[in-house]
Structure 1
Amino acid sequence: MNAELFAVFAGSSIRLAAPMLLASTGELVSERAGVLNMSVEGMMLTGAFIGAMASWWTGNPAIGLLCGMLGVLPVALLQAFLSVTLRANQVVTGIGINILALGGTTLVYREIFGSRSEAAIPGLARWSPPGLGQLPLIGDAVFHQVWLLYAGLLVLAATAWTMRHTALGIALHAVGVSPRAVDQSGVSVVKLRYGAVLFSGVMSAAAGCFISIGDIHTFTEGLTNGTGYLVIAAIIFGNWKIGRTALACLLFGAATAMQFQLQMFGLHVPTALLVMLPYLLALIAVAGLIGRQTAPPSLTRPFSR
């Protein structure tokens, strides 16, 4: 393996990890607040579709990104209403929304473009941090990424600071541990959980837009291809900690990149094994084989006053 090929592999790993990093930032806040947002996959797909269609119609990918993030809010509100207000099973409702999103986006896309069309869509610009993009060998391959990735890193840092150092972050942590104590203190559990789910929806939509208008510049049926489920696995892998979750996303991104890069390194591994590798790592994480996992005590538990 030479340095140039390794740089290409590293850049691909970061690019493929970016959607998981964006979505996991919001999903982690939701789970810390006690709501397992299983509809991340559907929200990503909805955001990717709306963002792609708006970018195609207006010719402006920035408007497409904004429309995608705003257009997913009704889906997030539905998830919050079912999970928080109606206190329905969060796993069942999330999977139901995922199926609804897959069917809805496929139907509308086929009505607009036909069953086999892949429309070319204006994409988000790429950007390199000053100085880093000019580094030899790794500058262009690693750091020349879609600007949304760097914006996501800023949101990740801001979220980590908010969760650790502000009253809002303390309240979100507390509502996932003991919602009754939060309620008795006079803070609304319902508002906190609604806000957490909405934030998760917006970040999931940004992740979907990263794929459709940031990376491949088109939309295809079932575009997310299970990425939302890997996001949930990454949070379990990271033991509900922001830094470790980000590293888990990078690991899953590297596992996905291997599907395309190992042949360049002269390594001949069955394609089926490479395709299943990210999900195998996710299964290991969910099974608890990497150590004890400590979820928020009130995760998935409905609250009533």
Structure 2
Amino acid sequence: MLEQIFTLGFLSAFLSATVRLAVPLIYGGLGETISEKSGILNIGIEGVMLSGAFFSFAGAWYTGSLLLGLLFGMLGGVMVSALHALLCIKLAKDQSVSGLALNMLMLGVTSFLFKLMSQGQSYQQLKTFPTIKIPLLSQIPLLGEAFFNRDVLTYSVYLLLLLTMIFYKKTNLGLSFAAVGENPHAAESAGIPVHKYQWISMLCNGILGGVGGAYLVLSQLGVFTENMISGRGYIALATVILGRYTPFGMFGAALLFGAANALQIRLQTSGVSISPYLLALLPYVVTLIAMLLAIGKNSEPESLGKPYIKGSR
């Protein structure tokens, strides 16, 4: 039975699905990596991605443009992250409570606004971003189809991962942003504007999280459904921890979770005699196991989750 399932065709489709399902996690995880390296924990990344998904759909639907829909998705994500930044940076509120509250808020807000949009209207599926096959690279066995026959948002995240790694490893500005998350008091003493850098990091968090949600609408499904993020934001948080707060570590963790999700979908469609309810648990079981294995490997920024108040110690 397993030999019939794990054929070359299965593996090719499986890897392609892995990348497709990992992309929103990578966007959300990259945005969360940037915010956490500046000391701001945003558990509300679920709400950021949900806002990006809804406003990208609304923008694309009313304007007829996928690019404008993507812009609206970014703005939707920024709106939520800016609210989190206001609460946690300006007002120095508890970051975990703020993030959870924003998740619940955006679930209600997007559901309400979608119902308003839906009154008396019948929505058709939006056209999605087309795939672009890269010559030569797309011909690599197995990996070529999975990584190099994708849409523009997937290729963009490859570039963003590389640029983010270079920014933190090779530039003085990147080191300054990282210093804010490690020791904001020392950073302020060195002339680094801590709150300004944290605000910038949160805006990046909103943009990338918004694109992560928009990807589901504009590149995958072409429609919006209530609570369509369905825990992806929390898994994006887990990718950051498992990736040891590095862009490419997070990328590897996102691929792991994407593979777990792709596997359970492929097994269901292949007719494996396992309850679909048990298979649906697979991505979350993998998340829990991976988090348990990460115990004792703490590499989080020293001041993560701790509000910074000027002049205090």
What range describes the TM-score normalised by the shorter chain of this pair? over 0.9
Match among 158, 162, 165 for residue 167 of structure 2: 162
Letter of the aligned partner of 2:205 in structure 1?
S
- Matches of 1:278 and 1:254, distance apart in 2: 8
2:23 and 2:92 map into 1 onto residues whose CA distance is 32
Aligned positions of 1:278-289 closer than 5 A: 278-289=283-294
Question: Could you tell me which of 140, 152, 166 is aligned with 1:147?
Answer: 152
Aligned to 1:44: 49
Following superposition, the deviation at residue 100 of structure 1 comes to: 0.9
Q: State the secondary structure of the residue aligned to 1:297.
A: coil
CA distance in 2, matches of 1:115, 1:97: 29
Question: Which among 296, 299, 311 is matched to residue 294 of structure 1?
Answer: 299
User: 2:94 corresponds to which residue?
Assistant: 89
Partners of 1:142 and 1:189 in 2: how far apart?
38
CA separation of 1:261 and 1:206: change in aligned 2, threshold 3 A: same
How far off its partner does 1:273 sit? 2.4
Shift of 1:153: 0.9
Gaps of at least 5 residues in structure 2 are 1-5
Letter in 2 for 1:252: F
> Take 1:293 and 1:270, find their aligned partners in 2: how far apart are those partners?
36
Tell me the TM-score normalised to structure 1 length.
0.94
Shift of 1:70: 2.3
Q: CA deviation at 1:183?
A: 0.5
Match of 1:235 among 235, 240, 244: 240
Task: Judge conservation of contact 2:78–2:205 (CA < 8 Å) in 1.
Answer: no
Measure how far apart 1:264 and its partner are.
5.1
Counterpart of 1:46, as a letter, is S
Q: Which amino acid aligns with 1:87?
A: A
TM-score for the superposition, normalised by structure 2: 0.92
Residue among 105, 109, 118 paired with 1:113? 118
Check 1:4–1:108 CA distance in 2 against 1; reply closer, same or farther (3 A cut).
same
Asked if residue 79 in structure 1 is aligned to residue 84 in structure 2, the reply is yes
Does residue 1:220 correspond to 2:225, yes or no? yes
Higher mean displacement: 99-108 or 116-125 = 116-125
Report whether the alignment pairs 1:68 with 2:73.
yes
Count the aligned residue pairs: 305
Stretch moving more, 233-242 or 88-97: 233-242
Would the alpha carbon gap of residues 130 and 275 (structure 1) be closer, same or farther in structure 2, given more than 3 Å must change? same
Does residue 272 of the first structure (1) align with residue 277 of the second (2)? yes
Instruction: Report the AA paired with residue 79 of structure 1.
Output: H
Does the Cα contact within 8 Å between 1:56 and 1:122 map onto a contact in 2?
no
Asked if 2 retains the 8 angstrom alpha-carbon contact of 1:32 and 1:296, the reply is yes
Q: Percent identity?
A: 34
- Over aligned residue pairs, what C-alpha RMSD do you find? 2.0
Which amino acid in 2 is paired with 1:124? F
Unaligned runs of 5+ in 1: none
Deviations 1:210-253 (A, max 9, x none): 00111001000001111000000111111212221110000000
The 1:118/1:257 distance shift into structure 2, 3 A limit, reads farther
Equivalent residue of 2:281, what SS?
helix
Q: Tell me, yes or no, if the aligned pair for 2:183 and 2:302 is still in contact at 8 Å.
A: yes
Q: CA deviation at 1:136?
A: 6.3
Match status 1:174 vs 2:179: yes
Q: 1:141 to 1:173 in 2, by over 3 A?
A: closer
User: In the alignment, what sits opposite 1:195?
Assistant: 200
2:113 maps to a residue whose letter is V
Question: Equivalent residue for 2:21?
Answer: 16
Amino acid at match of 2:164: T
Q: Does the alignment pair 1:125 with 2:126?
A: no
